[in-house]
Amino acid sequence: MSNQYELATFAGGCFWCMVEPFDEQPGIIKVVSGYTGGHKENPTYEEVCSDTTGHYEAIQITFDPAVFSYEKLLELYWQQIDPTDAGGQFNDRGLSYRTAIFYHHEGQKEAAEKSKANLEASGRFNKPIVTEIVPASTFYEAEEKHQDYYKKMSFHYNMYKEGSGRAKFIRENWKTKKSDEELRKELSPIQYQVTRQNGTEPPFQNEYWNHTEEGIYVDLISGEPLFSSKDKYDAGCGWPSFTKPLRHSEIEEKLDTSHGMRRIEVRSKSADSHLGHVFDDGPGPTGARYCINSAAIRFIPKDKLKEEGYEQFLTLFE
């Protein structure tokens, strides 16, 4: 491992669901699923699930702290779990599905304790935060079939994440929640129509259709990073077009049969905003063209990324 890289180890219930949120972040070198915290050497998945080994299902992240800090990893970690559940996570019950932060040095321990205390003080949950903070121990890689499960078995993974109750919990407890009344006051009429009423703004008469400055585009309501100028191109349609999102984990694609058509709608997971549609006539390797309404996004120029808390994306423009 390079001297500039560090390890972070987290248990958050089923490790299938813990890889995706970290995997697409800048500064993340790799994410491995495995087992740790127990007494059995080289355990199998079946042994760990039987709760006889003392191990947790966990992930180990190799990351560049100069790009993505440990504090940001902690922030993202909390948003994947129910930190008040001592008996497992969602439908997965038992010792191997408990939550824990395994620190690799004193700096990580202090950061984790501070992060946990901040979450307690925030009042987000009305029950105690029970996630443990413990020293890291030997980490055993899980079997190959469990690595990158969200990519290999995407349909089953998405069904499982929804069916287990994890996705619903995240939506209800961690995503941006503003009332309809608040949004009507905060947004312009076209912004409200697009994001909340699935509207479409006029082509060639919107803010970003021919915008070429370097930077990223974030969800107008939640601020979640969605697209990069690096992936933007002129599709000739009169709306901002991108070959891919910054992170697929922040995008939801749904069948849209409105107006007598069959299209794939694109929504942001964080705020459940209507963004636009995705088509298969793009120039990139996947053929995707994300056709997005300017009224659903906000642009942050490259030189303002650090100021606005998105410094991890500066590496895109180096």
Domains of the chain: 6-174 (3.30.1060.10), 180-317 (2.170.150.20)
Cα separation, 215 vs 49, whole angstroms: 45
pLDDT at 46: 96
What was the pLDDT predicted at 270? Answer: 82
Strands 232-233, 274-279: parallel, antiparallel or unpaired by DSSP? unpaired
Give every CB contact of residue 265 below 8 A, 6+ residues apart in sequence: 198, 253, 254, 255, 256, 274, 276, 277
Q: How far is CA 154 from CA 26, 157, 160, 242, 277, in A?
A: 22, 5, 10, 22, 20
pLDDT beneath 70: ranges in the chain: 1-2
Show which residues are catalytic.
Answer: 14, 291
For residue 184, what pLDDT is reported? 92
Q: What are phi and psi of 37, to 5 degrees?
A: 90, 0
Asked if 34 and 149 count as a contact pair (C-beta separation under 8 A), the reply is no
Please give the pLDDT value at position 255: 85
Look up the pTM and report it.
0.79
